Amino acid sequence: MAPPSLDGHREEKDTASGNASTLQSPLLGPGERLVLNKFTLYETRTRFFIVGSNQSDERFRVLKIDRTDGNELNVINDEVVYSKSEIKELLTMIENGNKSSGGLHKVASFFGIVGFTRFLEGFYLILITKRSVVALIGGHYIYHIDDTMVVSVPGPGSKIDRRTDEARYVQVFAQVDLSKNFYFSYTYDITRTLQWNMGLPDKRETSSFNEMFMWNSHLLRTGLDVQHSDWVLPIIHGFVDQSKISVFGRNIYVTLIARRSRHFAGARFLKRGANDLGFVANDVETEQIVYDATTTSFFHPPGRFGTKPCYTSFVQHRGSIPLFWSQENAGMVAKPPIQLNVIDPFFSAAALHFDDMFQRYGGPIIVLNLVKSKEKNRRESILLDEFTEAVSYLNQFLPADGKIKYIAWDMARASKSHDQDVIGVLENLAEEVLATTEFFHSGPEPYVNALARALASGDDGTAAVSRVMGRQQHGVVRTNCIDCLDRTNAAQFVIGKCALGHQLYALGVLEHPSVPFDSDAINLLNAMYHDHGDTIALQYGGSHLVNTMETYRKISPWTSHSRDMIESIRRYYSNSFTDAEKQDAINLFLGHFIPAESPTEPLWELPSDYYLHNEEPRKKRPRRSYKHWYTPNAVSCGAICVPTRPAPTGNAFYEEYYRLKLYTSFSRLFAFNIISTNTRLPTREDVVDNSPFTVRVNPAQSNRYLMIYRYASLTGQSRTAARDVSSVDRPTADQASINSLNIGGVRRWLKLAHPPGDATPEKGGRISKDKQSIDSSNENSKTKPGSSVKESSAPWWTTSALATRLVDPQVPSSELKEYKRYIYQFKAASTLLTPTVEQSVQMQAAHSDFPIFDEYVGRGGLAPTRPDDPNQLADHFEVDSRDEALYGSYVNSAQTSCYVGSNVARTDQPKHAAYAKWLSTGKFVWARAKTTDKSALPPPTFP
């Protein structure tokens, strides 16, 4: 026990916390919030002391945790802000006061508190011990949790009732791996959108975390004030990624943030549909932030409304169909039948769900339903009919300008059809979505955009130009299929691609709001959405995406079929054998099941977790009106529509980003190492074009983004480019069938490296347009003798097409041009190797690397004794006389001999054998051939 005087001193400090404003005034400015991002845990026999400091180690706070009571958690928050000298004095005083009981010991240094938890015995403290930067938004870092540490709170002298199930609860809790896909930020509210963050004042009293996406809300609620404590660090679960588009030196940052809801969270077959509170399974909010990184801060330089006009964001949503339905996986079937558990004529769950979306995003709500409409055995179509009826019922009570816009489209059927353009349909839907909901832009649009719009509308330029001074997103698009994984991710990517064009146009980067496929910018965005989809699929379904974007673009190679099969098997295994334990861990982590409140019935023995996620029938709230099911004010303008935010008074983000007292370098700076589009190295024949919006017809360049892009439509151009360029020659069906088989080994890489659109180089490495046109005309004029139109148009996999290829094999034009390129590659060697500038010997000798060069040139024994004397410099290669004679003999023999057939000169055979021996061993051995005329075979003479 500590001395009474020390306890009395600490109690005086604790009681003084009520007058915290007067105590903070020397170290904190008015309205300034202390941001703690470095922590140290100390322990005595009876207490834990957590000392938190800001980035510059100038201001400190102390948190005290009592360890004497094993069944209760007593946390005392000291509101006093200490200086560095004061915190040292306080720690010294605590150590001196506890010398009799063991003193004060440092336990660990860490970066944040995840929270507290208790199972059956005592409380545990969860700490973040490792972190890594994954994104940077307006000078605010977003971190990924790399490692955590769990510390038992009760001290050695506390009394704890030992329970046998405690160890198993610890094991179940640990199955929620905090080192995978959990993120936090010290200065940026990661639970909210960019529009919300830039629209609220910088005071914690007026802003609040969105606990829907705050996965440690239950863990923090036990010991801290979740909304108003400086020790609270909100953690989200989902996905965060960031890349940059380099536009001729101007960096545009693209950030994806996916926030998974903690309500009704769980595994795939165990969490379907919605619960009776309106929360749906696999509820994920995806935000795409695009901003100009010319300056760092949100508010400097200030714009017209106090914010910098260089930030844009677009939010979209995915979630399960909000009905009462399930899929029982007891029989270990790959696709269990879909069952509607409750037939609700008033669709109360859907009403609660859409009312919550109106309050979060405002109106209108666009529903993109991608489930199947035609099936041999009705599965998904059951939910299609029910969901369509639900939206129709709810819409009849909404005002005319706030109705839910419902779009149902069988995307799976369209992707299997040969006459439907899946990407084209999605792009049209995306343009409609952007025109309806718009997107967030923190400042005025460029004047050139307003001028172009005025000219397009027929204005003669005499009237004043109407300029959009800022945008806000009203409403959201909600995309769903059955699992909200494969089809949903592809649709969200196309919508995000459309949004990227509008965001870049609003920032003044593009002259029109569209970006073509197969450009560096879209390849980068595709890679980010691919990782985004894989992460969401692993969290919910247990495997990566089965159908990727290449599947729906119909450019996926044969090799992807085996990958899709493996992912399907992994998903089936996870759903059948591991999802039950995963669901138990999530229920325990999120606080849906509290072991201390149910000590007699363990979590793993519950027959179902239905009542953990739904209201108990005896305690259900009264039903809402079936007609007035929505919040009227939210339909027109919801919680996402907020006023503009003034510049903050604190400089916490400035200290965190610049780290004024720390020596750093560019190589260690996160902004310097972000993945960028500016990584393309042009070849010798290339025309240098570093624009990230140029269509790259070579799909091999897309592989640097870790994607599986392959040779798309056999013209070597993307779908968008093919529509724009009408002069592109389209291949015949036979060429398509032949090219589709060239997918392995060297032939695939030869084909990918130089698509059919490339021209054959002339001498000197240049491309002849005349020769290109002649070759193309000759190739187009070639026809197969005796072949009919029916055979030429037959699919490549039919027997007739296979027989035609075997009888009359043809070389694709891409391989032919690659062969010609190989033949002509050395014909311009003399031109390429000739120096363009003549330098004197004295100038060569002044070069720093000349001694190395001169040593190599004069290696024959004529190296200068004085390198500084120009008269002694070697001006030619010194070749060994023996090598010269051997080389001359080899060259002369090539002028008089034949190397093929029976006419090979016998006199050449020993020469070449000796030369080959000398090349491999470095020793010259002369083997005289056995002939009748020995005088005809004189050995060569070498000096």
For residue range 458-475, what is the model confidence (pLDDT) as tens digits? 776 667 778 888 889 999
pLDDT of 855: 72
Q: Is the pLDDT of residue 649 over 80?
A: no
Q: What CA–CA distance (Å, rounded) separates 55 from 655?
A: 6
Among residues 109, 106, 187, 105, the alpha carbon closest in space to that of 147 is found at 109
Virtual CA dihedral for 436, 440, 441, 444, nearest 10 degrees? 50
Angle between helix 813-823 and 745-753 (nearest 10): 80
Beta-strand pair 325-327/338-340? antiparallel
Of 317-321, 770-774, 906-910, 921-925, minimum mean pLDDT range: 770-774
Please give the C-alpha separations between residue 448 and each of 462, 535, 763, in angstroms, as whole numbers: 16, 40, 46
Model pLDDT for residues 796-848, shown as the tens digit of each residue: 667 777 777 777 777 778 888 878 877 776 554 444 344 444 566 677 777 77
> What's the DSSP call for residue 889?
H
Q: pLDDT tens digits for 223-282?
A: 887 777 889 999 999 999 999 998 888 899 999 999 999 999 998 888 999 998 999 999
pLDDT over 70 percentage in the chain: 69
pLDDT at position 781: 42
Residue 697 confidence (pLDDT):
67
Find the mean pLDDT for residues 76-87: 91
Residues facing residue 64 across a β-bridge: 49, 76
Interhelix angle 380-395/348-361, rounded to 10 degrees, is: 70
Dihedral angle over CA of 929, 933, 934, 938, nearest 10: -80
CA distance 539 to 175: 12
Which amino acid makes up residue 104? Answer: L
Of 30, 37, 29, 27, nearest to 59 (Cα)? Answer: 27
Query: Does 52 have pLDDT greater than 70?
Result: yes
Residue 280 · residue 262 · CB < 8 Å: no
Tell whether the model's pLDDT for residue 287 goes beyond 50: yes
- In Å, how far from its chain's centre is CA 470? 28
Tell me which H or E stretch contains 170.
helix 166-174
Contact by Cβ (8 Å): 323, 453:
no
* Structure-block tokens of residue 151: 């510390």
Q: How would residue 793 be classed by pLDDT, with cut points 50, 70 and 90?
A: low
Question: Tokens for 526?
Answer: 């595709």
- What is the maximum alpha-carbon separation in the chain? 119
Residue 866 confidence (pLDDT) above 60: no
- pLDDT of residue 338 exceeding 70, the answer is yes
CB 374 within 8 A of CB 410: yes
Residue type, 428: N
In angstroms, how far is CA 607 from the centroid of its own chain? Answer: 38
872 by DSSP, 3-state: which?
helix
Q: How confident is the model at residue 444 (pLDDT cuts 50, 70, 90)?
A: confident
Mean pLDDT for 147-172 is 87
Pairing of strands 47-53, 60-66: antiparallel
Tokens of 19: 């007058």
Rounded Cα–Cα distance for residues 45 and 48 (Å): 8
pLDDT at 572 over 70: yes
**What pLDDT does 785 receive?**
41
pLDDT computed for residue 632 by the predictor: 84
What is the Cα 147 distance to its own chain's centre? 21
Q: Which of 589, 560, 123, 500 is nearest to 291 (CA)?
A: 500
Q: Within a 13 Å sphere around the CA of 165, how many CA atoms are in the beta-carbon half?
A: 16
Do residues 621 and 615 lie in contact, with contact meaning Cβ atoms separated by under 8 Å?
Answer: yes
∠ CA 35-39-44 to the nearest 5 degrees? 135
User: Regarding beta strands 365-369 and 405-408, do their DSSP bridges make them parallel or antiparallel, or are they unpaired?
Assistant: parallel
Region of poorest pLDDT, from 171-180, 296-305, 501-510, 760-769 = 760-769
615: left (phi over 0), alpha (psi -120 to 50) or beta: beta
Give residue 795's identity as a one-letter amino acid code.
Answer: P
Q: Can you tell me the distance from the alpha carbon of 847 to that of 837, in angstroms, rounded to the nearest whole number?
A: 15
872 pLDDT more than 70 = no
pLDDT grade for 285, boundaries at 50, 70 and 90: very high
pLDDT band of residue 498 (cuts 50, 70, 90) is: very high
DSSP 344-405: -TT-HHHHHHHHHHHHHH-S-EEEEE---S--SS-SHHHHHHHHHHHHHHHHTTS-GGG--E
Phi, psi of 224 (to 5 degrees): -135, 160
- Alpha helix (H) ranges present in 507-589? 520-540, 549-552, 559-573, 579-589
Q: CA-CA distances (angstroms) from residue 490 to 320, 437, 528, 882?
A: 16, 20, 12, 69
Q: Spell out the residues 6+ positions from residue 113 whose beta carbon is closer than 8 angstroms to its own.
A: 39, 50, 125, 126, 127, 128, 220, 224, 231, 232, 233
CA distance 938 to 930: 12
Print burial letters for 366-379: b (CB count within 10 Å at least 16), e (below 16). bbbbbbbeeeeeeb
Q: Is the peptide bond before 301 cis (omega within 30 degrees of 0)?
A: yes
Query: CB of 473 within 8 A of CB of 227?
Result: no
Strand-pairing partners, residue 238, are 259
- What pLDDT score was predicted for residue 687? 56
Cα–Cα dist 446/309, whole Å: 9
| Number of CB atoms found within 10 A of residue 585's CB | 20
Task: Categorize the per-residue pLDDT at 767 as very low, low, confident or very high, splitting at 50, 70 and 90.
Answer: very low
Which sign does the torsion angle of CA 800, 806, 809, 813 carry? positive
Shortest CA distance to 57 belongs to which of 32, 37, 28?
A: 37
Query: Using 50, 70 and 90 to split pLDDT, how confident is the model at 929?
Result: very low
Q: Where are the alpha helices (DSSP H) in 651-744?
A: 652-658, 719-724, 733-741
Residue 97: pLDDT over 80? yes
Strand boundaries in 429-506, DSSP class E? 440-441, 476-480
Report, as an integer, the average pLDDT of 581-591.
92
Q: Which stretch of DSSP H or E encloses residue 159? A: none
Segment of 24-33, 369-378, 455-464 carrying the highest mean pLDDT: 369-378
- Dist CA 737 CA 732 (whole Å): 9
Report CA 279 to chain centroid distance, whole Å.
27
**What pLDDT score was predicted for residue 497?**
95
365 Cα distance to chain centroid: 26
What CA–CA distance (Å, rounded) separates 926 from 917?
9
Q: How many CB atoms lie within 10 A of CB 846?
A: 10
- Name which of 239-248, 549-558, 662-671, 906-915 the model is least confident about: 906-915
CB-based contact 428:389 (threshold 8 Å): no
pLDDT for residue 600 is more than 90: no
Q: Place 34 in a pLDDT band, splitting at 50, 70 and 90.
A: confident
481 pLDDT more than 70: yes
Sort residue 181 into left (φ over 0), alpha (ψ -120 to 50) or beta.
left
Read off the tokens for 746. Answer: 């060297």
Nearest alpha carbon to residue 394 among 436, 427, 441, 347: 347
Q: Which of 66-75, 193-202, 762-771 has the highest mean pLDDT?
A: 66-75
On the question of pLDDT at 891 being above 70, the answer is no
Mean pLDDT of the chain: 75
